[in-house]
Homo-oligomer: A and B are copies of this chain.
Amino acid sequence: MMEYKKINRRNFIKQSALAGASLALMPSRISASTKKVPNLRLGVIGTGLRGQWMTNLCLLRNDVDIKAICDIDSGMIHKTLNIIKKVGGKPPDVYKNGQHDFLNLVQRDDLDAVYIATPWEWHYPMAVAAMKQGKHVGVECPAALKIKDLWDLVNVSEKEEKHCMLMENVCYRRDVMAVLNMVRNGVFGELLHCQGGYQHDLREVKFNNGKQPYGGGFEFNEKGYSESKWRTQHSIDRNGDLYPTHGIGPIHTMLDINRGNRFVHMTSTASQSRGLHKYIIDQGGKAHTNANVKFKLGDIVTSVIKCSNGQTVVLNHDTSSPRPYSLNFRVQGTEGLWMVDNNSIYVQGLSKEEHRWESDKEYLKQYDHPLWKKFEKRAADSGHGGMDFFILNAFVEPLKRGLRPPLDVYDAASMSVISPLSEKSIKLGSAPVKFPDFTRGKWEKNKPIFGLNADY
C-alpha cells in the first residue's frame, strides 16, 4: 500500500465532507405526501432492452414489486413477461394499448413510483403525467429535450411534491466514485477543470437489419429494430450534444452543481457531419435508399461550460465515427489530476516522480467509495460493471424511506438542458448560452448529498 502524505488542509477538507455527510442523513423530504413504504410498488414504462434489464435488476431485489408494465411493442412486453416468469415473479398488469396507454398505468392507485425507459421524446410527457398522478419518477436520460419542458418538470415536481430522479448510472461507476471520494478528501486540491464526454461508436446502434439490435444492416425508423427505431431520427433532426449525461453526470457531482456551485454558460461547436452517411454508403452502397438521408448531427460536438465557482468543463459527443469507447474523464485541481484514458493520475507531493504520470490503480483502491465496499457483492451480481445496481438502489432506497433521491429533479434538469443549449449555441455560431437556474437560487444553500449516505 502506498504511503500518502497527510497535510492539515486535506484533513480539514475531509472533515468538511464528513460534516456534509451527516447533514445528508437528515430527512430532506420535499413533501408531506412522501411516506415510508416497506416495498416500492413500481410501474415500468418502456420495456425495450434497457427496460428489460432494469426489470431484471428489480427482480433481484426483495423490496420492489413490479405491478405494471407498459410498451407499444408486444414483442418487448412478451420478453419482459418471460424475464419475470423465469424468476417466479408475480405477473404484472400489462399496458400495451397504443402510445397513450401509459396514462392508464400512471393512474393506478397501487403504485409508489414509475420507471421510464422509453424513447427520449417520451420521457418528459410520461414523467409529468406520472408526477401529476402522485407517483415518483425515475427517468432514463435525458429527462426532457426542451428547456421549457425541463422547467415544467421542475414545476410539476415542486407542485405535486414528487421526486423525479435522473437514472444516470455512470455517476456510480467504481472509478468515478473513487475519484469523487478523492475530490472530497482534497487530493486534487481545489478543482479547476473537468472533462467528460460520450465517445461511443453508435453506428451499429443507429443502423441494423431490423431483426437484431446491433448492426447487420443500414435500416432505422420503421424498418429498424430496438434503438434504431427512434434514436437515429435525432441525428437527422438535431445538431448538438444529444447525449450529455454519461459524461456530465460524474462531473456534476464532483463539482457540487446545484449544491454550492452551478453551470453558468456554455458554448458548443460541431464538426462536419460525415460518419452516418459514410457508414451507409461504405456498407450499403450509394444505391441504398438511406444513402439519400441527410444527417444534421456533427460527428464531433465539443461544449465548454463555465461554472459559478470558476471551473471549466469540456464535454464532447462523438458517436458517428470508428473509435474505442471512452467517457473521456479528466478531473483537475490545484494539486493534481486524474485522466481516465491513461488510467493515470498525478498528484503533487504524492506521486512518486515529479511531472510523471502514475497508474491510478492504488489510488482507486485506497479511495474506493464506502458504497462500493459495502455493496460490492450485490453490484457484481447485477452485471454491467455494477453501476446499474447502484443507480436502481439510489432510486429505491430513499423512496422507501420517504427521502430525496441523490440525483433530483434539479440535477435532471441541469444535466439534460445541455442538449437543447448545445443545439442553440451551434445554431448561433457557437455563441455562449446561459444555463437556466432551475433551483431558483436554492443552489447557493443546498448541500451535497450524492454519495454521502451510507445506504445509497
Contacts and interface: CB of A to CB of B under 8 A. Distances in A.
Interface of A: 190, 192-193, 201, 265, 267, 269-272, 274-275, 278, 298-300, 302, 304-306, 309-312, 314, 318, 321-325, 332-337, 339, 341-342, 346-348, 355-357, 429-432
A150 to B, nearest CB: 22
A201 B342 CA distance: 19
A190 B300 contact: no
A201 B333 CA distance: 13
A271 B193 contact: yes
Given A192-B300, A299-B193, A311 B271 contact: yes
A324 B338 CA distance: 11
Interface-centre pick from A310, A322, A333 (highest chain B CB count, 10 A): A322
Contacts of A357: 324
B341 A275 contact: no
B322 A272 contact: no
Interface-centre pick from A270, A298, A309, A321 (highest chain B CB count, 10 A): A321
Nearest to A270: B312
B346 A323 contact: yes
This chain: how many copies in the complex?
2
Given A321-B192, A325-B355, A334 B430 contact: no
A312 B310 CA distance: 25
Contact of A267 (B318, B333, B337, B432): B432
A272 to B, nearest CB: 3
A310 B325 CA distance: 23
A304 B269 contact: yes
A52 to B, nearest CB: 24
A430 B346 contact: no
A314 B314 contact: yes
A305 B269 CA distance: 8
A272 B193 CA distance: 9
Contacts of A192: 271-272, 274-275, 299-300, 321
A323 B304 contact: no
A430 B272 contact: no
Contact of A300 (B299, B312, B346): B312
A337 B318 CA distance: 12
Given A271-B192, A302-B304, A430-B267, A334 B309 contact: no
B278 A356 contact: no
B335 A322 contact: yes
A333 B314 CA distance: 20
B190 A334 contact: no
12 contacts: A192-B299, A193-B318, A265-B429, A304-B304, A304-B430, A318-B332, A321-B334, A322-B334, A324-B357, A339-B341, A429-B432, A431-B431
A322 B300 contact: no
A190 B272 CA distance: 10
A300 B431 contact: no
Nearest to A273: B310
A336 B342 CA distance: 18
A325 B267 CA distance: 27
A190 B356 contact: no
Contact of A306 (B193, B269, B309, B339): B269
A81 to B, nearest CB: 33
Contacts of A271: 192-193, 310-312
A322 to B, nearest CB: 4
A304 B429 CA distance: 12
